[in-house]
């Protein structure tokens, strides 16, 4: 049972960190404040369950983190992405992974 709690608490934390990244990117102030509270809860639970862990606990937590970030990207792209942003389909179109419908681009440093 403790492994399930460690997995879920880290998945929850990393999921919210991924969502928070998008909140900051799109200047969503209220969503960022609410998400910060959730991140604090997830971090508290993670520290509580994983504080004295060994190698098995590390891999359980790492699996939770991997699941959390992948699911946050899927969730954001499905439910939260602003409607005026189109994901580029090809690297040949330029360096920017996103572009606005008016042609402006968001690039990677």
Q: What would the pLDDT profile of 27-40 be if each residue is shown by its tens digit?
A: 889 999 999 999 99
What is the Cα Rg of the chain in Å?
Answer: 17
How far is 25 from 29, CA to CA, in rounded Å?
Answer: 10
Q: Calculate the average pLDDT of the chain.
A: 81
* Tens digit of each residue's pLDDT (9 = 90 or more) over 80-106: 877 666 555 444 555 555 555 555 555
pLDDT above 70 as % of the chain: 75
Q: In the structure, what pLDDT confidence band is assigned to residue 75 with cuts at 50, 70 and 90?
A: very high
pTM value is 0.71
Q: Are 6 and 60 in contact (CB under 8 A)?
A: yes
Query: What does the pLDDT read at residue 87?
Result: 54
The burial class, CB within 10 Å (0-12 / 13-18 / 19+), for 10 is: buried
What pLDDT shows up at residue 91?
Answer: 47
Task: Indicate the angle between helix axes 2-25 and 55-75, nearest 10 degrees.
Answer: 40
pLDDT of residue 80: 82
Tell the burial category of 50 from Cβ atoms under 10 Å away from its Cβ (0-12, 13-18, 19+): buried
Query: In this structure, what are the phi and psi dihedrals at residue 97, rounded to the nearest 5 degrees?
Result: -75, -20
pLDDT score of 68 more than 90? yes
Q: Please, is 64 exposed, middle or buried when counting C-beta atoms within 10 Å of its C-beta (0-12, 13-18, 19+)?
A: buried
Give the pLDDT score at 109. 38
């Amino acid at each position: 049972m403790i492994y399930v709690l460690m997995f879920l608490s880290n998945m929850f934390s990393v999921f919210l960190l991924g969502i928070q990244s998008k909140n900051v990117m799109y200047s969503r102030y209220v969503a960022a404040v609410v998400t910060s509270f959730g991140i604090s809860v997830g971090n508290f639970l993670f520290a509580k369950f994983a504080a004295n862990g060994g190698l098995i606990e590390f891999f359980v937590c790492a699996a939770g983190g991997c699941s959390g970030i992948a699911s946050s990207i899927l969730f954001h792209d499905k439910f939260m992405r602003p409607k005026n942003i189109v994901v580029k389909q090809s690297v040949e179109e330029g360096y920017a992974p996103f572009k606005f419908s008016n042609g402006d681009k968001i690039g990677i440093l």
